[in-house]
Amino acid sequence: MVDWKSKKFWTEGTGSVFLAILAALTIRWGLFEAYVIPSGSMLPSLLIHDHIFVNKFVYGLRVPFSEKWLVKFSEPKRGEVVVFKYPRDMSTFFIKRVVGEPGDKIFYENGTLYINDQPMDKKVPVNNDDFKWLRDADFQRDGNVYDNKDNYVHFTEVLQSKEHSILLRRGEIYDTFGPVTVPPDHLFVMGDNRNNSSDGRVWGFLPKQNILGRASIVWLSCDETLPVVTFLCNPLTIRFKRFFHMVN
């Protein structure tokens, strides 16, 4: 007979396994959760096969298995990178950058983002460290076999004093989007790879209740995954210099 009241049960027996599982689930629910970047929509800020930790505590705590908040600590700010449930399929997770808060007027034309009728600065980067990580293979997915790194130019965009990298395709005739005004309790999000991102320009505004947390740090990264177990990194292609890279 198992004595669940005994100290040994909770430190060495079945109880210790239960406590470990409970602790892991609590951390995943309220503090941090790991995700893997599957696409190039956030290049060059986040690379394909970057493994990231998402801070779920920064915005508050939710009722488990729901979109309802128990308590809120802060609101997502313009410039932050967030992970969220895709509004058209809540079982799918996306990662994008917040560019518009409630009440903001958003307009995008010829590679320039306008917020409340003011163009956001695009500067020549101080360094090209983000761009140096990119490979031709990062652009040749989903049938784009003739695309390559040389077709893109790297800029630093400034959002509310926050600087981050973006990519624009050379010589592209850029689409015009907007103007639209972000409604209450919603955000407008975009990918940093501006010509290769399915974001708010395609599917509309993001309800705040869909947000899971803010991307915080890259803890593992690799060029390629294993051929059979595709969710595991190929140890021969690990990008060691990206370990503990902060998500900007």
The CATH number of whichever domain residue 205 belongs to comes to 2.10.109.10
Phi, psi of 217 (to 5 degrees): -150, 145
Judge if 106 and 186 occupy the same domain: yes
Question: What sign does the dihedral 129-135-140-146 (CA atoms) show?
Answer: positive
pLDDT at 19: 44
Contact 85, 92 (CB under 8 A): yes
207 DSSP β-pair partners: 186
As for how many domains the chain has, the answer is 2
> Does pLDDT of 4 surpass 50?
no
Tokens of 208: 């705040």
Judge if 153 and 228 occupy the same domain: yes
Judge if 193 and 232 occupy the same domain: yes
| Identity at 139, one-letter amino acid code | F
Closest C-alpha to 90, from 171, 11, 199, 207: 207
Catalytic residues: 41, 96
Judge if 15 and 133 occupy the same domain: no
Judge if 24 and 42 occupy the same domain: no
Closest C-alpha to 93, from 189, 174, 211: 211
What's the DSSP call for residue 15?
A: H
> For residue range 21-47, what is the model confidence (pLDDT) as tens digits?
544 444 444 455 888 999 999 999 999
Ranges assigned E (strand) in the chain: 32-36, 50-55, 60-62, 69-72, 81-85, 93-100, 105-109, 112-115, 118-119, 122-123, 152-159, 162-169, 177-181, 186-190, 206-207, 211-221, 245-246
Judge if 25 and 130 occupy the same domain: no
Q: What distance in Å separates the CA atoms of residue 37 and residue 51, rounded to the nearest whole number?
A: 6
Judge if 21 and 47 occupy the same domain: no
Q: What distance in Å separates the CA atoms of residue 84 and residue 82, rounded to the nearest whole number?
A: 6
| Domain interval for residue 213 | 33-246
Give the position of tokens 């893997």.
36
Contact 67, 61 (CB under 8 A): no
Judge if 55 and 107 occupy the same domain: yes
> For residue range 122-167, what is the model confidence (pLDDT) as tens digits?
999 988 999 999 999 999 877 778 889 999 999 999 997 789 999 9
Contact 115, 130 (CB under 8 A): no
Judge if 54 and 116 occupy the same domain: yes
CB-based burial, 77-105: b 16+ in 10 Å, e otherwise? ebbbbbbbbebeeeeebbbbbbbbbeebb
Total-model pTM: 0.84
Judge if 49 and 118 occupy the same domain: yes
Share of the chain above pLDDT 70, in %: 86
Judge if 24 and 136 occupy the same domain: no
Largest CA-CA distance found in the chain, in angstroms, rounded: 75
Judge if 40 and 25 occupy the same domain: no
Give the position of tokens 């040749």.
140
- Distance between alpha carbon 75 and the CA centroid of its chain, in Å? 16
- 62-71, 140-149, 157-166, 238-247 — which is least confidently predicted? 62-71
